[in-house]
Amino acid sequence: MSRPPCPPFTLETAKQKVRLAEDGWNSKNPEKVAQAYTVNSLWRNRSSFIKGRAAIVDLLTQKWLAEMEYRLIKELWAFTENRIAVRFAYEWYNGEGQWFRSYGNENWEFDENGLMRWRIASINDLQIEESERLFHWSESTRPPDHKGLTELGL
């Protein structure tokens, strides 16, 4: 199975890979997202350590049950031949009246087929008021004209 763009990355293909990942996560479809990772992909997500697609599906299923109205923006930070570093922010609602903006960084490593085999994510949550929200779109992906993290001052 191949998931282009594949390493070695250029600035253009690294940016494409980041946007494809953002779009996948904004779909909030755990099975779809898991297909971007190797069968035995290793993750550190906050304080959870998981391995494999089934565990990814389980983690994401629970995540999106708890994090309602989830909207994510990712931005390329750096890249090498088969690694990409991103920074991201996402907004979500806990269903009990509280909005959050979660900030983080991810380090990714890809196999030769463009599947992510290693993901390390550090994430911090900040409570915000609904009036402080910056991510407003109704589609399953961020519209092309919606500002990115840098343009939003994040």
How many C-alpha atoms does 31 have within 13 Å on its Cβ side?
A: 0
User: Quick one: CATH architecture of 11-132?
Assistant: Roll (3.10)
Q: With bands split at pLDDT 50, 70 and 90, how would you rate the model's confidence at 4?
A: very high
Whether a cis peptide bond, with omega within 30° of 0, leads into 4 is no
Looking at every residue in the chain, the average pLDDT score rounds to 97
- Could you state, in order of their start, the residue ranges of all structural domains in the chain? 11-132
What is the reported pLDDT for 145? 95
- pTM, entire model: 0.96
Degrees to nearest 5, angle at CA 26 with 23 and 28: 125
d(CA 23, CA 18): 9
d(CA 18, CA 144): 14
What is the reported pLDDT for 153? 97
d(CA 21, CA 73): 10
Report the SS3 class of residue 4: coil
